Amino acid sequence: MNTFKNLAASLCALLLLSSCSPKDRQFEAKAFPKQTQSQGLLNLPQTSLELQGRCNSAIQTTQSQLDGLTASSRSKNRLVSLDTILGDFDDAVQPLIFMAYVSTESELRDAGSNCEAEVNKFKVAIYSRRDLYNVVASSTPMFPEEGRLREVLMTMFEKNGMKLDDDTLAKVQDLKQQLTQLETEFSKNLNEDVSRLAFSESELAGVPEAVLKFLPRDQDGKVVLTTKSTDYVMIMTQAKDSETRRRMQSAYLNRAPANTKLLEKAIGIRQQIAKALNFSSWVGYRIKGNMADTPERVMNFLEDLQTRLKPRLKNDLDRLLVQKQAEHPEAKSLDAWDIDYYSNQIKKTEYALDNELIKQYFPRDQVLERIYSIYSEMLGIEFVEVSNPEVWHSDVKLYAIYNQNHRHDSPIAYFYADLSPRDGKYGHAAAFPLIAGRRLGQAYSTPVAAIVANFTAATADRPSLLTHGEVETYFHELGHILHQVLTRAPFATLSGTNVAQDFVEAPSQMLENWAWDEDELMYISGHYQNPSEKLPKAIIKKMVESKMFNIGYQYSRQLTFALTDMTIHSASGAVDSKQAFDRTHLKVMTYEAPTDNHFMASFGHMMGGYDAGYYGYLWSEVYAADMFTQFVKLGLDAKSVGQEYRKIILESGNSEDALSLLRKFLGRDPNSDAFLTGIGIQ
């Protein structure tokens, strides 16, 4: 998930049908040399006062520029000038807002959150201005790309009420200002949550001793854990004690409890906005203009998938219950905190998969560099680590990206990698666009983005080791980064991942397939004590076989989130978000959610841009699977396909609608065949 905006994908390099098998690759550290750069790309603020001052200045400057644009008709192309002003504004404020998610200083995080709230309010005001709307409406595009810019901007303005009377428009503007404040406060509460739990060593039986000995302790000698994803997954998959898992899940599902009221208030405001804009619901308002286009198409898609998945879900849950009964013969049912634990036990026994063993073959730094190598080959690019960059934490790295064999030229992009957990930091994995790619006169700007994740930190006796799930996550998030920074879209409004919300995940979802290919896994793996020792092929084979394990459960869980989102945002009147989640969970999953859960308070997507849009993860996966068929035909390392993928999907941004781009890349209309086959449904 990307909290500012959206995200998406990447891949290959060079000529025709030539290919280079991963089995023949020779990894060399010198392939990733460092370059020296003493000055920061983002000019990071050093104090909260500086951050707020720069934020206010950017708003004031932009306000003045917009007023000047509407006051004069002399501008040769006011449509393009408007995009330039908006792009300059985003480039100025996005790095400031980013501090709310990553800064080590609470004052800077607070200032970043305040800036985000002010920026969001300002943007509501921008897209509610009739004079700016008239600039767009009266423009005469000179080129097709300007026509696309006009089309997208017209939609943005009209969805903000340009066809309303003045009184109703003012009301909508006020409601949207209130909404942005609630969304910012929700995200801040979640980022700042510092929930802790303490367990005795006996309560943590099942957690490897090699991990336990490095965990922090309280004054009573108990192990202290956070509710960050790393600690949460460790306990839920490995702790034998049911009560330990229950306590951890309860803490995880009750983070930032004040957020429930914020969400429900936001839902009420969204209802009012939709009604004022003549939509039957917030769902109808948000989906208009997406690939799905109507709520009916979304619901048909979700309900059909639920029906198809029911038999697979039942089989998955029955299998987990049998595993539980092997330990507890008296058990009659599963508890919600049993699922991950017994899933892990089955992987160990039936698939002979031990996550702790597998992690030893995925030392983080080596895996990342080899993922960079895969993308370099495929997309015709080169990654170079920057020495001594200006960063917000000493763990953060900066990479320059070049076109392959063009190191003598300037970098075409940069991205930061902030991958270790710490207090106050964004708690999941996301890609954040910071500086947009766009045409500036005769030149093209250098895009900048950042990956934020929370992988297990290194210890005194071993480096950071990734689970296979984290390896897959990095393929995905780096895909979003490359969608953002390899863009060649001419305008900021159309740049990078500013595409239809229900397509934004597709390019990066497609790249997750590389994390399941035997050759690629052999290439990126290497035991942390002996890098030449690869992940055994027998384990890889079992990993691939296990991909279908629990697939009914996994997709049903995604359906639960998507259908809950559709339920709360299709309602009229007051909404009990907990009740909506619990009812949907029971209907889809067929067992009750934990009674003490307040999951919706930590469901950041609902207040981070995916409201009435969570279905997009499943919707876009259909297109991701279809795009992957092009690589399957010629091989995952087929450079010709990678170059087409870079040119058509990654570089285009929103210069054309997503369906047109898919048709160009596939050479046909997209379909759902590959997606359904991939999840075992005929």
Buried b (16+ CB within 10 A) or exposed e, 653-670: bbbbbbeebbeebbeeeb
Secondary structure of 640-668 in HEC code, one letter for each residue = HHHHHHHHHHHCCCCCCCHHHHHHHHHCC
Active-site residue identified among 158, 382, 477, 520: 477
SS3 309: helix
Is residue 590 a contact partner of residue 313, using CB atoms and an 8 Å limit?
Answer: yes
Greatest distance between any 2 Cα atoms in the chain: 82
User: What is each CA distance from 122 to 106, 113, 133, in whole angstroms?
Assistant: 24, 14, 15
Question: Cβ neighbours of residue 535 under 8 Å, at least 6 residues apart?
Answer: 358, 361, 362, 521, 522, 525
Secondary structure of 171-233 in HEC code, one letter for each residue = HHHHHHHHHHHHHHHHHHHHHHCCCEEEECCHHHCCCCHHHHCCCCECCCCCEEEECCHHHHH
- Relative to beta strand 381-387, strand 430-435 is unpaired
User: What does the alpha-carbon distance between residue 470 and residue 454 come to, in Å, rounded to a whole number?
Assistant: 9
The 10 Å Cβ neighbour count of residue 127 is 19
User: What does the alpha-carbon distance between residue 312 and residue 298 come to, in Å, rounded to a whole number?
Assistant: 22
User: What does the alpha-carbon distance between residue 212 and residue 219 come to, in Å, rounded to a whole number?
Assistant: 16
Q: The tokens of 431 are what?
A: 């890609």
Angle (CA) 254 255 259, round 5°? 95
User: What is each CA distance from 360 to 208, 213, 468, 644, in whole angstroms?
Assistant: 13, 17, 10, 36
User: What does the alpha-carbon distance between residue 554 and residue 316 come to, in Å, rounded to a whole number?
Assistant: 10
User: What does the alpha-carbon distance between residue 338 and residue 335 come to, in Å, rounded to a whole number?
Assistant: 5
Is residue 235 a contact partner of residue 245, using CB atoms and an 8 Å limit?
Answer: yes
Q: Which amino acid is at 211?
A: V
DSSP assignment letter at 535: P
Angle (CA) 298 302 303, round 5°? 115
User: What does the alpha-carbon distance between residue 511 and residue 476 come to, in Å, rounded to a whole number?
Assistant: 6
User: What does the alpha-carbon distance between residue 51 and residue 60 come to, in Å, rounded to a whole number?
Assistant: 14
CA 162 to chain centroid: 31
Is 477 an active-site residue? yes
SS3 410: coil
Is residue 472 a contact partner of residue 515, using CB atoms and an 8 Å limit?
Answer: yes
User: What does the alpha-carbon distance between residue 444 and residue 490 come to, in Å, rounded to a whole number?
Assistant: 8
- Relative to beta strand 381-387, strand 34-36 is parallel
| Cα first-last separation, the chain | 30
SS3 441: coil
Find the DSSP H helices in 454-610: 468-485, 506-511, 518-524, 537-546, 551-570, 577-589
The 10 Å Cβ neighbour count of residue 328 is 10
- The catalytic residues are 477
